[in-house]
Amino acid sequence: MIVGYYPGCSLTGTGKEYDMSLRKVLSLLDVQVEEINDWCCCGATSAHATNHLLSVALPARNLMLAQKQNLNELLAPCAACYNRLIGSKHEISHNADLKKKVEFVLEEDFNSSTEVINIVQLLQKVGKEKIKSLVKVSLKDIKVACYYGCLLVRPNAVTKFDDAENPTSMEDIISATGALTVEWNYKTECCGGAHSIARKDIVTFLSKNILDDAKLNGAHVIVVACPMCHSNLDMRQRAIKKLYPSHEEIPVLYLSELIGIALGLNGKELGINLHFVDAINLLQMVKAEM
Amino acid sequence: MKIGVFVCHCGENIGKTVDCATVAQRAAKIPGVAYSVDNKYMCSDPGQNVIKNAIREKKLDAVVVASCSPHMHEKTFRKAAADAGINKYLCEIANVREQCSWVHDNIPDATDKALDLVRIAVEKVKRNIPLTAIRVPVTKRALVIGGGISGIQAALDIANSGFEVVLVEKEPSIGGHMSQLSETFPTLDCSQCILTPRMVEVYQHPKIKLLTYSEVEKVEGFIGNFTVTIKKKARSIDEEKCTGCGLCIQKCPIKKKAFNEFEEGLATRPAIYVPFPQAVPNIPVIDRSVCTYYQTGKCQMCLKVCGREAILFEQQDTLVTEEVGSIVIATGYKLYSIDKKPEDSEIKGYGEYGYGKYKDVIDGLQFERIASASGPTNGEILRPSDKTQPKKIVFIQCVGSRDEQKGFSYCSKICCMYTAKHAMLYKHKVHDGEAYVFYMDIRAGGKMYEEFVRRAIEEDGVKYIRGRVSKIYRQNGKYIVKGEDTIAGMPVVIDADMVVLATAMVAQPNASKLAQTIGVPYDKYGFYQEVHPKLRPVEVSTAGVFLAGACQSPKDIPESVAMASAAAAKSLVLFGSDYLEREPTVAVVNEANCAGCFYCLKVCPYNAIEKKEVKNKLGEIIDYIAHVNAGLCQGCGTCNATCPSKSIELIGFNDEQIYAEINAFSESFV
Amino acid sequence: MSTHHSANTTLSNEIFSNTSLNVLQCYQCGKCSAGCPVRNFMIDAPNQVVRYVQLGFDDKALTSSTIWICASCQTCSTRCPQNFDIAKFMDAMRETALNKGIKPSEKDSMEFHKAFLNQIENHGRAYELGLVRDYKLKTLNLMQDVEVAPEMLMKGKLNILPHNVKDKKPVKKIFAKSKGGRK
């Protein structure tokens, strides 16, 4: 299986362990990734918050690059990039006027037949059975809170991915590793996203609520599919601890990392050592190596 | 042929855009027109006299009235023409208001168009022939579908007027949703206390034939002459023998297994049961899907204990036919469920309220059962999950209703009132409890309704918060209700013990199926469509069929009862005559020409086309041809347009007449 | 989405012609505000900002900090009973405020967005260290994130040098031609 790959900026920096773990896991699952040549930033929240045309044109350029590489499917592991790519494609195809403007900006005709998919969708395509057959380390002793955040499921009419209020596809994939998943309330609550830098107070507050509810419902680990969610939930636990000294840390892993552990990769290979919240206890619970 | 043309100004409605005097002058020059005049109000008494006098004095054979839509005054003018001695079908209307003056603003153009319309009508009326109305006999007997309060009221009103009624109810007992209610707004009458005497009256009424656990399968015929096929579902009980002693129910070994519909799932029931103690008739039914005997072939406990040998395990569904003249549909409503809906449904559940996964997040009917003295908690307010008394309760209005996103844009009308009642009942029973109501608007239009809501707020201290709730979730044993008080402009989060959702009233799930069986139009929500929202609110486009209660739109009890009496009155109007007159403008088949392809049968929206046997001299069937049932035909002309061999003619609108109209219109281009 | 619009105030018309959003669709139920994760950080509730536009209090709406505190999570749009895309409305409000040169009371968020886009315009991809530098210089929040930044650097999560696209021209051109946003 060959799939196009749009890592996005975060996976080259703050979320580089996502990129590392994903590439290793996918190769174990016989998925080849073909990176888009000279891709650029999707514009993220900043573009769509301030300049609509720019926010559509930047993803459109990347979609056109994918088109030129004849990629049928394009994996955007970052939920924010996924949302921007699929959202722009949706908007352009539903708005002839906007399409014209985008073509003016790009100086080429826009025509994209590439299907934009997120990591959960890719793993669904790989199949639970395939993952199950390759599991080397059973995760049956850990309880996982699957965190979808905002951008995988919203707006549901555009992403058409899972249920906007109670998604369950990540749980389904994770069941292949033997891990248990918990029912909790903050699956799709926002972590503050792009406010990470400008309004740390907001992100700290939102992240704390998410972490608390996961713990309250018995989770040992939170699994995410977005580098922004990851940095907010993982990195901001320091600030939370400062404000609320009683806060008990809970590790936050990328979906690819959790599956990587089950497939027998060690913590370092998966970049788990790069997290701010130590996951060593978690790895010990399943007798995996750091 | 001498034709008169009468042009109406309709005050300024026509007169200000169409030069009526000019139209009258120019109409006089149309060949065949012997007299032509305009008048300010042609429909008024003096106006009608202008027509009548002209017919008599000028010896007119036919008239054209250029006025408003025939929907409005065709009857009026045809009657005037008939009064003056000409056949009423020799009066044609040229609609120069809705189709001309109201939609144009250029006077010369509108005047030209009005003249065109007049010329078209003149050419048609020249080819009209005198017709006589069709007379059909009336069966003075009514069918009422649905045994809730609406159906009960309609049945009693008709029966008390001396006519027979067949009352069909799909559940094992009549009573409907009203029998589930605790107390009723705004008087707090006990619902059962006011309803059960009516139920008994129905049961004992000599003119009412009650068919419970039965459904309408097929409706044939037409106004005054319906033949209805009803399926009596197998009760597994001999209704003649059963005395309703209840021993079988007591002894049924699977007491706690079956979902109790009457208690809205808050209690269980045995496999053999009556829905509730006051059920009418007081005859049990066996739920075969849970009965041990039907599932495994063993048990038969009920049979063993029944002293009357009334248990009939082998009983089959039976079909009965009834002849009736009118049909009252009173099939009621259902409550919307917040559960996750299937993928293909346009209607969405409420994921933000947990898709129905929380036991203590209940709907209005469930709260009625909890508050009811005969309910699963004997009227004590206890929450379903752990049977504890909720000290903080949240009521949320407009769940599903007024929610375009979930698929319902309409207001369910009764929720404001019953929520106020719920909150009031709660406060009366839990003195130290807190009750919150989230609402968008309080719609309390009705006698003593607003006062009732104010009482809940001012005297009982129910806290009303204006805003919709965004999310409900469970944390630390509480239901966290996240809302916004849009008046204070601040967020409100309540940690409640129980939440009651005023979910939308929706049409019965099989409403469209019944509608198709009877031929009743329905809206996109499945509510039945009345002919006119103001002036004909209980009639549907199929003559002889009337609506009562919430099957037409959400309604409370007083409105349902009023509508039921209206539907009964409409049936009684019908039963007031021995014969019905029907428009003669129906389709007829040229039998010599019909090839028997039956395209007409497929396209007829009124099921008016039948297959007629053609026999040879020996009486053997040699062919089938189409035949129009004049009682059912509404004269729409679909068959006429479809027939490949031109073997169907629509009387009053035959091809010659239509072509004459088209030719007359094309003259304006010459 | 409605095709008819008659609020007939300056801003509501502008929003309608740019985005087809009809602010009159909002019936002020407050569900957006009730579910807004950042509601506690706002003075004006999201539904109130829509109300200001409905009534023609355009300045009050455009200067509200709410439009910059909005985290674009789209919870509001997902649950809006009237199918009013309030997240898109917030985007349109921010864009309009910027185009009109209105100084937002919630300056930091806007400066962050500007710094972020500046990085992309110059490098084609987000370059975190440069972004943080630009942002801090603009806002003078110099001490922010001292507890994590050094470790991020150590873990290689903040790149010292920008990751440039090979060919910077196309991205610069996209920025140049998209200036002025929707127009």
Residue A216 to residue B352, Cβ atoms within 8 A = no
- Domain match, A61 and A153 both: no
Residues of C in contact with A208 (CB under 8 A): none
Decide if C114 is inside a domain: yes
Number of independent structural domains in chain A: 2
At B326, the pLDDT band (50, 70, 90 cuts) reads very high
Q: Indicate the pLDDT class of residue C180, thresholds 50, 70 and 90.
A: low
Residues B54 and B174 in one domain: no
Average pLDDT over residues B336-354: 87
Number of domains in chain B: 5
Query: Cα–Cα distance between B546 and B343 in angstroms, integer?
Result: 35
Examine residue A290 and state whether it is found in any structural domain, yes or no.
no
pLDDT (mean) for B353-359:
95
Is B669 among the domain residues? Answer: no
Give the CATH number, domain containing residue A150. Answer: 3.40.50.11810
Asked if residue C1 has pLDDT above 50, the reply is no
User: Which chain B residues contact residue A164 at CB under 8 A?
Assistant: 351
Instruction: Note whether A199 and A272 are same-domain residues.
Output: yes
Same domain flag for B175 and B224: yes
Chain C residues whose beta carbon lies within 8 Å of the beta carbon of residue A44: 116, 126
Number of domains in chain C: 2
pLDDT in tens, A79-107: 999 999 999 999 999 999 999 999 999 99
**C77 and C44 belong to one structural domain:** yes
Do residues B328 and B189 share a domain?
yes
Which of A148, A162, A165, A187 should one mutate to test binding to chain B, selecting the residue with the greatest count of B CBs within 10 A?
Answer: A165
Asked if A51's CB is within 8 angstroms of C117's CB, the reply is yes
Which of C72, C99, C126 terminates a domain? The answer is C99
* CATH at residue B425: 3.50.50.60
Determine the 3-state secondary structure of B416 from DSSP.
helix
Same domain for A109 and A163, yes or no, is: no
Do both A265 and A153 map to the same domain?
A: yes
Residues of C with CB under 8 A from a CB of B: 27-36, 39-40, 44-45, 47-48, 75, 79-83
- Write down the pLDDT at residue B43: 95
Percent of residues, chain B, with pLDDT higher than 90: 93
Note whether B499 and B524 are same-domain residues.
no
Examine the fold and report which residue of C33, C67, C99 is the final residue of a domain before the chain moves on.
Answer: C99
pLDDT category at B452 given cuts 50, 70, 90 is very high
Does residue A124 lie in a domain region? Answer: no
Task: Nearest by CB to C33, from B402, B440, B491: name it.
Answer: B491
Q: Is A185 on the interface with B (CB under 8 A)?
A: yes
What's the CATH code of the domain at A58? 1.20.1050.140
> Is there a contact between A163 and B473 if contact means CB atoms under 8 Å apart?
no
Same domain, A202 and A150: yes
Res. C132 pLDDT band, cuts 50 70 90: confident
Of A155, A165, A202, the CB nearest to C38: A202
**Which residues of chain B lie closer than 8 angstroms to C48, CB-CB?**
489
Portion 103-142 of C in contact with A at CB < 8 A: 108-114, 116-117, 120, 124-126, 128, 131-132, 135, 139
pLDDT exceeds cutoff 50 at B312: yes
Among residues C53, C77, C99, the one where a domain terminates is C99
Query: Do C92 and C126 belong to one domain?
Result: no
C175 in contact with chain A, both atoms CB, cutoff 8 A: yes
* Statement to judge: residues C93 and C52 lie in one domain: yes
* Residues A27-61: tens digit of each pLDDT: 999 999 999 999 999 999 999 989 999 999 999 99
Residues B101 and B183 in one domain: no
Q: Is B470 on the interface with C (CB under 8 A)?
A: yes
Higher pLDDT, C8 or A266: A266
Q: How many CA atoms lie within 13 A of B664 on its CB side?
A: 25
Per-residue pLDDT tens digits for B84-122: 999 999 999 999 999 999 999 999 999 999 999 999 999
Kindly give the interhelix angle for C86-99 and C10-19, rounded to the nearest 10 degrees. Answer: 110
pLDDT at residue number C8:
63
Which of C22, C33, C64 is the mutation pick for testing B, counting most B CBs within 10 A? C33
The residue among A60, A90, A119 that closes a domain is: A119
| Domain match, C86 and C25 both | yes
Same domain (yes/no): C16, C95: yes
CB atoms within 10 A of CB B200: 12
Average pLDDT over residues A94-122: 95
Mean pLDDT score, A229-243? 94
Residue C76 burial by Cβ neighbours in a 10 Å radius (0-12, 13-18, 19+): buried
In a domain, A229, yes or no: yes
State which residue of chain C sits closest to A8, comparing Cα positions. C125
Chains near A (3 or more Cβ pairs under 8 Å): B, C
Please give the pLDDT value at position C2. Answer: 43
pLDDT at res. C163 = 77
Q: Which domain holds residue A11?
A: 2-119
* pLDDT for the residue numbered C182: 45
pLDDT, tens digit (0-9, with 9 covering 90-100), for B7-20: 999 999 999 999 99
Against chain C, the chains showing at least 3 CB pairs within 8 Å are A, B
Q: Is A164 on the interface with B (CB under 8 A)?
A: yes
Same structural domain for residues B347 and B322?
A: no
Q: How far apart are CA A139 and CA A259, in angstroms?
A: 9
List, for residues B379-409, the tens digit of each pLDDT value.
999 999 999 999 999 999 999 999 999 999 9
Token readout for A260 is: 């990587």
Residues of the domain holding B20: 3-131
Chain C positions in Cβ-Cβ contact with residue B405 (cut-off 8 Å): 79-83
Q: Which residues of A touch C111 (CB under 8 A)?
A: 198
Question: Mean pLDDT over all residues of chain A?
Answer: 95
Same domain, A142 and A39: no
Identify the pLDDT of residue B342: 75
Q: Comparing B581-595, C99-113, C144-158, which segment has the lowest mean pLDDT?
A: C144-158
Over range B555-566, report the average pLDDT: 98
Rounded to a whole number of angstroms, the distance between the first and last alpha carbons of chain C is 21
Query: CATH number, domain at B644?
Result: 3.30.70.20
Domain range for residue C118?
107-176
Place of tokens 């049409």: B507
For residues A103 and A109, is the Cβ–Cβ distance under 8 A? Answer: yes
> B568 with B157: CB under 8 angstroms?
yes
Residue A106 and residue A175 in one domain: no
CA distance C9 to chain A (A): 22
Average pLDDT, chain B: 95
Question: What is the pLDDT confidence band of residue C3, given thresholds at 50, 70 and 90?
Answer: very low
Q: Two tokens at A12?
A: 């080259």
* Residues A135 and A22 reside in one and the same domain: no
Pick from C113, C126, C73: nearest CA to A152:
C73
Is A104 in contact with C177 (CB distance < 8 Å)?
A: yes
- The set of residues, in sequence order, having a beta carbon less than 8 Å from that of B467 and lying 6+ positions away, is B438, B440, B483, B484, B485, B486, B492, C29, C30, C31, C33, C34
From the list A165, A166, A213, the residue facing B475 with the nearest CB is A213
- Average pLDDT score over residue span B175-192: 96
The answer to whether residues B458 and B518 belong to one domain is: no
Query: Is C159 part of any domain?
Result: yes
C58 shares a domain with C93: yes
Is C4 contained in some domain?
no
Confidence of residue C4 (pLDDT cuts 50, 70, 90): low
Q: Specify whether B353 is located in the same domain as B481.
A: yes
User: In terms of domains, do B388 and B479 share one?
Assistant: yes
Residue C171 lies in a domain: yes
Does residue A87 belong to the interface with chain C, where contact is any CB pair within 8 Å? no
Token pair of B130 as six digits = 């005198």
